[in-house]
Amino acid sequence: MTKTKIDPLKRVENDMKKCVKCGACRANCPAFSAFQREPAAARGKVALAQHVMKGTITLDDGTYAAMSKCLLCGSCVDKCPNQVPTDEIVIAAREALTQRRGLTTFHQAVGQVIKNRKLMHLGALAARVLGPLFFRKVPATSGLRLRFPMPFLGGSRHIPKIAAKSFISSHPEVVEGEPGKPRIVFFVGCMTNFVYTEIGESTLALFKHLGCTVIIPKDQQCCGLPGMSGGDLETVRSLAEKNLLALEQHRPDYVMTACATCGGALHRLYPLVIGKRNPELKERLQALADKTVDAAVLLQKLGLDPELTGGGESLRVTYHDPCHHRTAGVVKQPRTLLQGTSGIDLVEMEGADRCCGLGGTFNVYHYESSLKINEGKSAAIRATGADAVVTGCPGCIMQLSDGLKQAGDDTRVLHTVELLARNLRR
């Protein structure tokens, strides 16, 4: 047995002791439902992390693989009678394993790309130019389906198109609003910046309509969540510092994002991973977190009348709760806005708050299981008879689109702001 003393797990040592091994968390754990094995459940991962900390387990590929079987969805935390923060324990355990064994080649590459905005732009350009090679002769009706199998991407996966121009480079840094109205810094996020630019355009249109000054910092970076999935917390910390500098200098009233995952990073992850190592930085990150707000929540707070901005074609829609929204309490606000929009008929699906199966790089490492979790979501969407499923996270949009297309279903997948801005953008 390898005897180790690993610091990151010290952060959650007391939390781990709170687990009484009752197993209540298994019922709602999507990883357990996909793998049907104890190490995939929250209870199993807490026990594994305890062994890693005590040094009573060999840190081999199996340990690493077991700890990768978590979507960090937080469902187990909601159901746990002792509120054991299993997601935080898994984050700490992944960092501990990374310190011990180093990053995987895949996560080294991910870290290099997300830390370097120029590299990300180059990657987006390459994907846009080379994409047609991979999708050539694939019928349009099948969506953008990968033509050549790539083990790390999943051979039949549907991939969204890269935008011709990134959202941030399409706009000035400051879009002036009316005097006396809020100053909002828009944290755009990579998916909106490079792929789903229409989410950015709709968000901007809505806050301009409300008279707000919208600042879109040119030097904002990736939120770092893809790095966290692989235990690369040093990359997350360096991105947290860069984003802090990029956002706080504008002295905003609010830091707003239309991406549930980015919101989760700014709001919860950054102060958590800085921990006690730098109290001054932690305080500034906490101040940033306190100002961070989801677009739908802020639109409601600022009194958006969706009847004016979002009316139009009649659509029956259902709403999927992103995990980072559920854990942050962003549940009612998007629904209230959608219900106030003429033409929109909102119907609830079964298990609207169940994870879609994306889970950061879980979707890359465990694609078949991710798809299996997604199949349940697609079936629930289909059962509502909705024309479109609406959500508040570009990552969920990609995942839901993949699941629906794989099932041969042409239900549209939209972001809340796209429906709320229909009149403004028409």
Angle of helix 279-291 versus helix 233-248 axis, rounded to 10: 60
Shortest distance, CB of residue 19 to ligand SF4, whole angstroms? 3
Q: Which of residues 35 and 270 has its CB atom nearest to ligand SF4 in the complex?
A: 35
User: Of 11, 45, 284, 366, which one interacts with ligand SF4 (CB under 6 A)?
Assistant: 45
What token pair was written down for 404? 């629906």
Shortest distance, CB of residue 260 to ligand SF4, whole angstroms? 15
Closest CA to 68 of 364, 354, 368: 364
Letters for 2-41 (x = contact with ligand SF4 by CB under 6 A, - = none) are: -----------------xxxxxxx---xxx----------
Which of the ranges 82-90, 311-319, 333-341, 412-420 carries the binding residues for ligand SF4, by CB under 6 A? 82-90
82 belongs to the binding site for ligand SF4 (CB under 6 A): yes
Calpha distance 362→261 (Å, rounded): 14
User: Of 9, 80, 103, 144, which one interacts with ligand SF4 (CB under 6 A)?
Assistant: 80
Neighbours of 60 (CB within 10 A): 10
Which of the ranges 77-85, 140-148, 312-320, 407-415 carries the binding residues for ligand SF4, by CB under 6 A? 77-85
Contact predicate 85/12, CB 8 Å: yes
Strands 315-319 and 388-391: parallel
User: Of 42, 244, 255, 373, which one interacts with ligand SF4 (CB under 6 A)?
Assistant: 42
Calpha distance 25→90 (Å, rounded): 14
Q: Which of residues 345 and 375 has its CB atom nearest to ligand SF4 in the complex?
A: 375
Shortest distance, CB of residue 295 to ligand SF4, whole angstroms? 25
Residues 400, 405, 408, 414, Cα dihedral to 10°: 60
Shortest distance, CB of residue 17 to ligand SF4, whole angstroms? 10
Letters for 232-271 (x = contact with ligand SF4 by CB under 6 A, - = none) are: ----------------------------------------
Calpha distance 266→273 (Å, rounded): 11
What are the DSSP calls for 172-200, one per residue? -SEE---TTSPEEEE---HHHHHT-HHHH
Shortest distance, CB of residue 18 to ligand SF4, whole angstroms? 7
Q: Which of residues 72 and 159 has its CB atom nearest to ligand SF4 in the complex?
A: 72
87 belongs to the binding site for ligand SF4 (CB under 6 A): yes
For residue 315, give the 3-state DSSP assignment.
strand
Strands 292-294 and 315-319: unpaired
Q: How far is CA 251 from CA 168, 182, 222, 244, 269, in A?
A: 19, 11, 20, 11, 21
Closest CA to 32 of 281, 365, 373, 342: 373
- Return the half-sphere exposure (C-beta side, CA atoms, 13 A cut-off) of residue 39: 12
Shortest distance, CB of residue 21 to ligand SF4, whole angstroms? 5
User: Of 9, 49, 57, 72, which one interacts with ligand SF4 (CB under 6 A)?
Assistant: 72
86 belongs to the binding site for ligand SF4 (CB under 6 A): yes
User: Of 50, 63, 68, 75, which one interacts with ligand SF4 (CB under 6 A)?
Assistant: 75
Neighbours of 416 (CB within 10 A): 29
User: Of 9, 59, 67, 70, which one interacts with ligand SF4 (CB under 6 A)?
Assistant: 70
46 belongs to the binding site for ligand SF4 (CB under 6 A): yes
Which of the ranges 60-68, 71-79, 285-293, 295-303 carries the binding residues for ligand SF4, by CB under 6 A? 71-79
Helix-strand-coil percent breakdown of the chain, rounded to 5?
Answer: 55, 10, 35
74 belongs to the binding site for ligand SF4 (CB under 6 A): yes
Q: Report 382-411 residues binding ligand SF4 (CB under 6 A).
A: none
Residues making contact with ligand SF4 (CB under 6 A): 19-25, 29-31, 42-43, 45-46, 70-76, 80, 82, 84, 86-87
